[in-house]
């Protein structure tokens, strides 16, 4: 690779990371302005919460319906079109005079803002295999930045200028990124000419035929379920009688974990040098260790808050670093099907997170905060057990070296059960 091509690729990766940040932020900033939407439109807080649900529903639909097109369409026009639609949807939301138009615009925004799951497969094809880990970590850092910063800035901007202002700013950012991608993203060909119905059917087929994809999906679904359970339970714990804080406290706790953005590129480099499986093992141990640390969060006061900060940081680092390892593994399964592979992977991860939120709320309601911590430990044990079983199977399948065979008094020509 020439210096010019290397600089061009580096610039493209940086731009894709920024695009991931902006796109993911579009999904999360509505969470910070729900009360402002309720008062501005004259509806109840529960009704205003449907805006967040509509955005997330649209995002899930976009993963299933649009991300497979990353293998069928040329990346530059696809990215530019989706970001342009996102910008228009955000502008429509900013002018909504009622809840129903806002919900409809939110579905459009969520569906079109699927740049992050499309950017990963694209970036994996721009770099050699030994750099896919660090590139995946860089994109994930961008997505994390968008998730954290959009909540903080969205709320502050909404308090200052009203709930419509964050939508206008997000629209301007989305359209600006679309213009940058139109100018700077390399013009790459599509990787397949498969029909759209075939693209939609491919993720399920790949899940049936690719054991490594199934393994990666199980790893991320279980760990992300534990992650979602904790953040669902944390909000209930902090606003409950143990701490008596307001809902803003959970957002501030999440902002403390912005340090995770610095860890994912490091995890990517470790994946490139040590392989995904070793990084997965360490990540399972880190997530498992977070459970007993988090349990001390039920003590309340400064010791409890300290335990929550340390425990959630361990949980975030382990979950996000494991995601880098899992994505690098699936990107190596087929260069012409990376978007379809990522569709299967992201869908399973998203379903795991949804189930985890549901389980976390019920565990907290029945057993309190300790129940949530036990749930995290149990889910992590499932992933770790599957990982250790995989390693044991690989060890058993390894051929016995010739020297070891002779030392044991056995050779391939020996009759079964008899030493030579």
280-331 pLDDT, tens per residue?
999 999 999 999 999 999 998 999 999 999 999 999 899 989 988 998 899 8
Q: Is the pLDDT at 68 greater than 80, yes or no? A: yes
Better-predicted residue by pLDDT, 159 or 99? 99
Pair 376, 320 in one domain: yes
Contact 119, 16 (CB under 8 A): yes
Please tell me the predicted confidence (pLDDT) of residue 6: 67
Are the C-beta atoms of 88 and 209 separated by less than 8 Å?
no
What is the torsion angle, in degrees rounded to the nearest 10, for the CA atoms of residue 173, residue 174, residue 176 and residue 177?
A: 110
Whether 128 is covered by a domain: the verdict is yes
Phi-psi region at 350: left, alpha or beta (left = phi > 0; alpha = psi -120 to 50)? alpha
Of the candidates 185, 210, 233, which is a domain's last residue? Answer: 185
Same domain, 117 and 227: no
Q: What is the mean pLDDT of the chain?
A: 84
- Residues in the chain, total: 420
- DSSP character string of 258-307: GGHHHHHHHHHHHHHHH-HHHHHHHHHHHHHHHHHHHHGGGG-HHHHHHH
Same domain, 99 and 198: no
Residue 331 belongs to a domain: yes
pLDDT at site 162? 86
- Report the CATH number that the domain containing residue 126 is assigned in CATH: 1.20.1250.20
Asked whether the predicted pLDDT for residue 93 surpasses 50, the reply is yes
- Band of residue 415 on the pLDDT scale cut at 50, 70, 90: very low
Match 């930045």 to its residue by tokens. Answer: 145
Segment 170-186 shows an average pLDDT of 92
Last residue of a domain, one of 185, 204, 221: 185
Residues 254 and 150 in one domain: no
Q: Based on the fold, state whether residues 147 and 200 are members of the same structural domain.
A: no
Residue 404 tokens read as 């070891």
Q: Who wins on pLDDT, 52 or 200?
A: 200
Query: pTM for the whole thing?
Result: 0.76
Q: What is the pLDDT of residue 411?
A: 42
Q: Does any domain span residue 403?
A: no
pLDDT at 94 over 90: yes
Residues 124 and 201 in one domain: no
Q: Are residues 142 and 24 in the same domain?
A: yes
Count of domains for the chain:
2
> Pick from 377, 221, 228, 223: which is nearest to 288 by CA?
377
Q: For residue 370, what pLDDT is reported?
A: 95
Instruction: Give Cβ neighbours of residue 61 (< 8 Å, ≥ 6 apart).
Output: 107, 110, 111
CA dihedral 84, 90, 91, 94 (to 10 degrees): 180
Q: Does residue 415 lie in a domain region?
A: no
Domain presence at residue 408: no
Are 172 and 202 in the same domain? no
- Residue 165 belongs to what domain range? 1-185
Task: Please report whether residue 317 resides in a domain.
Answer: yes
Co-location of 300 and 174 in the same domain: no
Higher pLDDT: 159 or 224? It is: 224
Q: 419 lies in a domain?
A: no
The verdict on 160 and 207 lying in the same domain is: no
Domain boundary among 161, 185, 209: 185
Are residues 203 and 346 located together in one domain of the fold?
A: yes
Q: Residue 318: its pLDDT value, please?
A: 93
Same domain, 281 and 354: yes
Q: What percent of the chain has pLDDT over 90?
A: 37
The mean per-residue pLDDT over the stretch 108-130 comes to 87
Confidence at residue 2, expressed as pLDDT on a 0 to 100 scale: 54
Q: Tens digits of per-residue pLDDT, 221-239?
A: 999 899 888 887 887 788 7
Cα distance between residue 198 and residue 185, in whole Å = 27
Q: How many CA atoms lie within 13 A of 402 on its CB side?
A: 1
Q: Is residue 410 part of a domain?
A: no
Band of the pLDDT at 400, cuts 50, 70, 90?
low
């Amino acid at each position: 690779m020439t210096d010019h091509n290397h600089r061009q690729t580096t610039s493209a990766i940086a731009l894709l990371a920024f695009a991931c940040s902006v796109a993911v932020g579009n999904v999360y900033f509505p969470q910070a302005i729900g009360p402002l939407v309720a008062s501005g439109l004259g509806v109840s807080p529960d009704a205003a919460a449907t805006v967040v649900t509509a955005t997330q529903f649209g995002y899930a639909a976009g993963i299933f319906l649009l991300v497979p097109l990353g293998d069928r369409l040329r990346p530059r026009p696809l990215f530019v079109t989706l970001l342009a639609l996102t910008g228009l949807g955000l502008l429509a939301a900013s002018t909504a005079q009622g809840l129903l138009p806002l919900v409809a615009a939110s579905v459009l925004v969520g569906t079109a803002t699927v740049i992050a799951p499309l950017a990963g497969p694209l970036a994996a094809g721009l770099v050699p295999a030994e750099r896919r880990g660090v590139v995946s970590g860089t994109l994930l850092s961008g997505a994390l930045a968008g998730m954290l910063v959009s909540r903080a800035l969205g709320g502050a901007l909404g308090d200052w200028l009203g709930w419509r202002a964050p939508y206008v700013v997000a629209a301007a950012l989305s359209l600006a990124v679309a213009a940058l991608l139109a100018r700077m993203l390399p013009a790459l060909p599509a990787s397949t000419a498969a029909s759209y119905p075939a693209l939609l059917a491919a993720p399920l087929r790949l899940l049936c035929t690719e054991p490594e994809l199934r393994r990666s999906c199980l790893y991320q679904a279980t760990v992300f379920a534990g992650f979602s359970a904790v953040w669902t339970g944390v909000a209930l714990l902090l606003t409950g009688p143990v701490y008596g804080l307001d809902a803003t406290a959970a957002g501030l706790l999440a902002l403390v974990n912005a340090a995770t953005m610095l860890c994912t590129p490091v995890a990517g480099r470790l994946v490139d040098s040590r392989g995904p499986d070793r990084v997965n093992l360490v990540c399972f141990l880190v997530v498992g260790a977070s459970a007993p640390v988090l349990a001390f969060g039920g003590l309340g006061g400064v010791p409890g808050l300290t335990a929550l900060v340390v425990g959630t940081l361990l949980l975030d680092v382990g979950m996000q670093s494991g995601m880098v390892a899992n994505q690098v593994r699936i990107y190596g399964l087929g260069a012409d099907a990376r978007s379809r592979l990522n569709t299967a992977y992201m869908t399973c991860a998203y379903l795991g997170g949804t189930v985890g939120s549901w389980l976390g709320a019920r565990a907290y309601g029945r057993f309190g905060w300790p129940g949530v911590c036990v749930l995290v430990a149990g889910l992590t044990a499932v992933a770790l057990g599957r990982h250790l079983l995989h390693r044991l199977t690989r060890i058993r399948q390894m051929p016995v070296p010739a020297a070891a065979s002779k030392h044991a008094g056995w050779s391939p020509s020996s009759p079964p059960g008899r030493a030579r």
